[in-house]
Amino acid sequence: MVVVAVAGGSGDLGRLVVDALLKRGGHEVYVLSRKVPEEVNLRLSPITGRQYGSIIQTDYSSEEDLAKLFTEHNVHTVICTLGVDFESASDVQIRLIRAADKASSVKRFIPSEFNIDYDLGDDILPYPEKRFHQAARRELEKTSLEFTYIYVGMFMDYYGVPYIETHLRPLPGWFDEVNNTVTVSGDGNAYCVMSYTKDVARYTALALELDQWPKVLKIMASRLTENQLVGLIEKNLGRKLTVEYVSVEEMRNSRTSLLESGDPFAENFPGGAEQLSALMVDIGTSMALGAYDFESSEGLDLIAAFDGKTEPPLRIEQLIEKAWNGR
């Protein structure tokens, strides 16, 4: 039983991690937040037996202040779930790492990864924003903290939106339900690991129960190719889709012009449609080049480690059936 602080704990993935930690029990769980809501739920600490407010307010601007907050709340483990694909957010995570290292109570840190190996070369992972994750990795390597990188692959939620329960918003440009078309990266034969966000959160919470953390923890609910994924969707829809194959070279040439400037989802990105276009192309290119297939790479398989101790994860076949069967 430890005290856990989740940075970004009210965000898309962060709130799931917080919920999973509370459901698992045994931990005193705080959310680091810039704002405190008008009503803060009081929780009963399983450690002290006393009630506590679950929000720690911070503007993330000072390492010293963060370290003081960690120490005052006796935080043992920090989990960062902030989106760090731009510089200001990356700087926040760096300050969190340094503050955690300064705080005498903090022993463990999980950085905001929840994807794939960000140290892969540009020939496999041509994703410029990986530099922000690399910066956090290099910073963690300087500390005395125990840390681990969690690889989950693609969030399979995206392939069931809007017909499954998820906090994620749809990524445009893959499956056009209205026009019955789907866009596939490369030849569609590269394998990709996928996991459902709720399972990612659940296994992240379970990871805190491990006596030691290896450098990499892997959550691999499903592994399949895009062609196999299209086949699953067609099977459940009961009809064929028009498939457009886009080569790696074609994707790179359309990196900043994939979406119109008015796309509503682009409003969630500081760089607007241009940044979202680049992200979608980078994901598609990386999938085609094999970056999302880490089944044989080093790391502890969390699903196998907790087999029989928790319910099995949602598989992509189940998600596709829930989302698309009979539509």
Q: How many other C-beta atoms can be found within 10 angstroms of the C-beta atom of residue 13?
A: 24
Q: List Cα–Cα distances, 232 to 161, 168, 317, in angstroms.
A: 15, 21, 7
* Three-state SS at 90: helix
Going by C-alpha positions, the residue among 106, 191, 175 that lies closest to residue 143 is: 106
The one-letter amino acid code at 275 reads Q
According to DSSP, the residues that pair with 28 across neighbouring strands are: 3
Q: List Cα–Cα distances, 193 to 132, 153, 234, 251, in angstroms.
A: 22, 5, 20, 21
What is the mean pLDDT of the segment spanning 27-54?
A: 91
pLDDT of residue 278: 78
Work out the pLDDT band at 218, boundaries 50, 70, 90: very high
pLDDT of residue 176: 86
pLDDT of residue 9: 94
CA pair distance 231, 273, nearest whole angstrom: 30
Please say if the pLDDT value at position 265 is more than 70: no
Please say if the pLDDT value at position 82 is more than 60: yes
Going by C-alpha positions, the residue among 251, 196, 195 that lies closest to residue 223 is: 195
User: pLDDT tens digits, residue range 266-288?
Assistant: 666 667 777 777 778 888 999 99
Q: List Cα–Cα distances, 123 to 85, 106, 120, 256, 289, in angstroms.
A: 20, 37, 8, 19, 8
What is the mean pLDDT of the segment spanning 240-251?
A: 92
Please say if the pLDDT value at position 239 is more than 90: yes
Q: Is the peptide bond before 162 cis (omega within 30 degrees of 0)?
A: yes
CA pair distance 94, 105, nearest whole angstrom: 18
Most confident of 127-131, 138-142, 174-178: 138-142
Work out the pLDDT band at 8, boundaries 50, 70, 90: very high
Mean pLDDT of the chain: 92
Please say if the pLDDT value at position 305 is more than 60: yes
Q: pTM for the whole thing?
A: 0.94
